[in-house]
Structure 1
Amino acid sequence: MALKYVNQAIKTDLASMGVPETNAFLGDVLSSNDQEKTMTSGFFRLEKSKPLSYTYTYDEMKIIVEGEMHISDETGNTVKAVQGDVLFFEKGSRITFDSPDYGIGFFCGLRKPGEA
C-alpha cells in the first residue's frame, strides 16, 4: 500500500512506559515494512512527574506538537522544547525528559513496533 492514513492519530491511547513515579506514555501508530531498516512513528506524552531518563538503542527524531518538555543529554546540553521544535536523538544517547506541566511529541525512529 502506497499510502497509510490514521485519522486523528494524536488521540491514540498511549500506554504507560511503566517507570515508577514517572507519568510517561508511548504509542506506536505506523511502521514501515522494511525488515532491515524498519521505521516506526507515534506519540510520546510526558506529564509533570519525576523526569524520565531513556537510553536510545536506535536513532529517533521528535517534533513537539503540544505543551513543553525540558530535554537534556548526558553531556549537559539542555533545551526547553515547545510546539514546532524538532529534536534528533542518536543511537546510544542517554536523554532525560521533564515537563513543568505536560508535553506531547510525535516521533519517528529506526526501530520495529513495540521495541521502545
Structure 2
Amino acid sequence: MKKLICAKEVEALEKQGQKVMYIDDNTLITPSAKDAAAACGIEFSTEAPPAPTPQACNSAAAPAAAPAAPAQNGIDSELIYKALTALMEKGALGDVLQQIGCEQPYIAEKDPDGLVKLVRGNTAKWDVLDTGNPADKVFYNELIGADDGSSMNAGFMTIENCSFPWDVACEEIYYVVDGTLTVEKDGKVYTAHPGDALFFQNGAKLTFGSPDKVKVFYATH
C-alpha cells in the first residue's frame, strides 16, 4: 500500500528538531513536501533508523564555526539571495527564470503582497505518479503548496484505465472534472462522476481507479 507524504508531515518533523525522514519504497512524496524538506534542511532516507546511542559525559565543546568566506570576484551570495527574494515577493521570479531558460512547472501570476496567486492551468506540466506498477497511467500536477505559504496542497490528477492502492496520510478532497473515478474501501466501491466530490479522512486505506480516463482536482491538508 502506498503512503502519501505531504508538506504537513515534513513541517511536523522539523518542529521536532529532526533532520531525516525515514521512508520506504511504498512512500509517495508530493512536490510540496520535497520543497518543504529542502527549506527545512530535511533529507529523505530509505535506510533503517539508527539505534539510539548513549550520550558521553563531559564531552568536549564543538569547535566554533569558521567565519563565512568573503565574496570572490565581486559576487556576493547574500546579495543574490536578497535579489531573488525581492523578485519572488513581487511575483516576478517565475518570469525571470523562464526568460533565462529554467523550466517551470507552470506559469503563474501573483500580487505584490503574495496574497493572490493565479495559475494558468493549461501551462502546467504533468508528472508521473509512481503507483508501483510501471504500466499504470497516473499523472498529477501540484499547483498550490508550501512555497505559497499554504498549509494545503492542491492540483490535478488523471487516472487512465487502471487501479492502485492508496493510503491516506492526511485529509483529502477530490472533485471529478471529467470521466469516472472509482474508490474501493473494504469491498465497497464508490463511483464518482463529473461534478461529484469525495472526502477522505487520515488513515483510510483505499483503492483508486478509473474504467476510462478521469481528471480530478484535489486538495489535501
- The two structures have a TM-score, normalised by structure 1, of 0.81
| Residue among 176, 180, 202 paired with 1:64 | 176
More strand by share: 1
Q: Match for residue 84 of structure 1? A: 195
Which protein shows a greater Rg?
A: 2
Q: Write the distance in 2 (CA, Å) between the matches of 1:41 and 1:18.
A: 18
Q: Distance in 2 between matches of 1:101 and 1:10?
A: 22
Give the Cα separation in 1 of the matches to 2:202 and 2:122: 25
Which shifted more, 11-20 or 63-72? 11-20
Q: Structure 1: where are the runs of 5+ without partners?
A: 111-116
Query: Quick one: which amino acid aligns to residue 189 of structure 2?
Result: T
From the two aligned structures, give the one with the greater helix fraction: 2
The CA RMSD over aligned residues, in Å, is: 1.6
The answer to whether 1:99 aligns with 2:210 is yes
Structure 2 CA distance for partners of 1:30 and 1:107, relative to 1, 3 Å: same
What is the CA–CA distance in structure 2 between the aligned matches of 1:104 and 1:15, rounded to whole Å? 14
- Between stretches 75-84 and 92-101, larger displacement belongs to 75-84
Unaligned ranges ≥5, structure 2:
1-113
Query: What letter corresponds to residue 153 of structure 2 in structure 1?
Result: T
C-alpha change, 1:62 and 1:48, in structure 2 (3 Å) is same
Give 1:76 shift: 3.0
Q: 1:10 to 1:55 in 2, by over 3 A?
A: farther
